[in-house]
Chains A and B, each alone.
Chain A
Amino acid sequence: MIFLRRQVPLLITLITGLVFAGQYYVPHPASEQMLTSVTKWLQIIGGFALVLGVSSLFHVHAIKIRRKEAGWGYSFVLYVGMLGTIVAGMWSNGKEAVDGAMTAFGWVYNFMMVPLQSTMFAILAFFIASAAYRSFRARSREAAVLLIAAVIVMMGRVPLGEYLIPLSGDLSQWILNVLNASVRRAILIGVSLGTVALSIKIIFGKERSYLGGGKE
């Protein structure tokens, strides 16, 4: 069993990792065909992952409801929402509208999901303003630099800011194009090198956490 649980996945990872790292550099039709087939598998696996994710969510919240854990009422709301949406979706054949007429699924989407998600995002403005007032203080030199840069970019990104301080637009563009882009690039390069290193460790079996815990 250890062979099936450990060695086989490691072997599959090693072979596919090496083959597909090399595939990128081989434009031969056979190599391209292989990539086409594998990406189709990936899409199919992606579909199954969705089913797995939904069933896992149901399972976790079913336990919460059964044990009447703290906040089990929210889990119940989640169940009602999920099941209601699935039933409406299946009833409407997965379509929000048919010949211009809104279906039940479309109603759930347009009048529940869209306003709820938009509201969640919109109230961020209020909390950000409150958080900025409480924590955006020039306690150190670094914090002062961050504060000044933030004020310039905030002014330069809106017409009123550019109207009041005409230079703020150009200054804000310079901060974004030069300071921000160079620092972001450095972070990106660092992250990419880390990803390459981690990928090599996974391919050669040094990093095995993806296999999960479980008994040997």
Chain B
Amino acid sequence: MSFTERMLKIDRRIIFLVIGVCTLVPLLYPVGLPIRISQEVRGVYDHIESLPEGSPFLLSLDFDPASKPELHPQSISLLRHAFKKNLRVIALTLWVSGTGMADQVVTQVAREMGKENGKDYVFLGWSPGGTAVIINMGQDLYGAFPADYNGKPTKGLPVLQGINSLRDVSYAVSLGAGRPGVEEWYVFGKDKYKFEMGGGCTGVMAPGLYPLLRSGQINGLIGGLRGAAEYETLMDQKGKAIAGMDAQSATHLAIIVLVIMCNLFYFSSRNRARSQGQAGA
């Protein structure tokens, strides 16, 4: 077996080791390269900035622990921004397996920003039905969620004063890791109940949401860890996303180098096989 053939059949554990080192080293020794802000992320940030104090802001944390590394930093940044602007935060999740995590992030950021449950924010929790929950909230918010996550009746909560349905929400952001997520919030929510909307998603999902973005159906998109890092940069708060960008940079570069190498070996081995074939003929 020639060198190129041996390299094409390289033990995958070597590749695992390369990726492991490329992830670990930048986390231990961060470089902190500058992060350029995209128009997609700026769209969400600018809209929240433009909202007057006390505006109802709905945040749907539609993800589970599998997407935590990408969407958790996004939710922290968005919540910090909303609380900093003194918006009334209405949080919920459409993913049952994400309920505990969503409750933790909302409570943690609210405590950090000195906000009061029921007055400045509410976590509605999870309700079965998926997209039906969105329609139900659009029809009657109190029908969809008669009580918040802690069992307190939603009717009469100061944070929900003047809000009867999704029509009364100033801005909604869905941080989605799949279905139901950003697309469902647009189709079943914004399209009918006419509220402004932005989105956040995992890196692999982002390209699929660009048609919604370009047509103005959503006014901004925070895509993956990069999007979260951009939001942290805009907020001037270094968090887990910025810390993870160096590791992501190194792993992307490692994969690119691996792909180029494998193509070089592939062409070299193909050319050799051809020349051997011609010599044989």
Contacts and interface: CB of A to CB of B under 8 A. Distances in A.
Interface of A: 24, 32, 35-36, 39-40, 42-47, 49-50, 96-97, 106, 109-110, 113-118, 120-122, 125-126, 128-130, 132-134, 136-138, 147, 150-151, 154-155, 157-163, 169, 173, 176-177, 180-181, 184-185, 188
Contact of A125 (B19, B34, B213): B19
A96 B253 contact: no
B249 A160 contact: yes
B211 A185 contact: yes
Contacts of A43: 127-129, 132-133, 136, 144
B130 interface: yes
A124 to B, nearest CB: 9
Nearest to B165: A36
Nearest to A144: B263
A113 B104 CA distance: 15
24 contacts: A35-B135, A35-B139, A39-B132, A42-B132, A43-B128, A43-B133, A115-B65, A120-B66, A125-B19, A126-B20, A129-B18, A129-B254, A133-B259, A147-B259, A151-B256, A158-B245, A159-B34, A160-B246, A160-B252, A161-B249, A176-B206, A177-B210, A180-B207, A184-B211
A132 B253 CA distance: 13
A169 B68 CA distance: 26
Given A97-B103, A138-B266, 11 more contacts: A40-B136, A46-B128, A116-B65, A117-B68, A125-B19, A128-B255, A154-B255, A157-B203, A158-B248, A162-B36, A188-B211
Contacts of B262: 132-134, 136-137
Contacts of B267: 138
A129 B19 contact: yes
Contacts of B129: 39, 42-43, 45-47
A119 B267 CA distance: 36
Given A121-B69, A122-B69, A137-B263, A36 B140 contact: yes
Interface string B202-230: 01001110110111000000001010000
Contact of A130 (B16, B224, B252, B263): B16
Interface of B: 10, 12, 15-16, 18-20, 23, 33-36, 38, 64-69, 96-97, 100-101, 103-104, 127-130, 132-133, 135-136, 139-140, 143-144, 192, 203, 206-208, 210-211, 213-215, 224, 226, 245-246, 248-256, 258-263, 266-267
A176 B39 CA distance: 12
B223 to A, nearest CB: 8
Residue among B23, B33, B69 with the highest chain A CB neighbour number at 10 A: B33
Contacts of A113: 65, 97
A184 B143 contact: no
Nearest to A175: B207
B154 to A, nearest CB: 15
Contact of B266 (A49, A137, A151): A137
A119 to B, nearest CB: 9
B210 A180 contact: yes
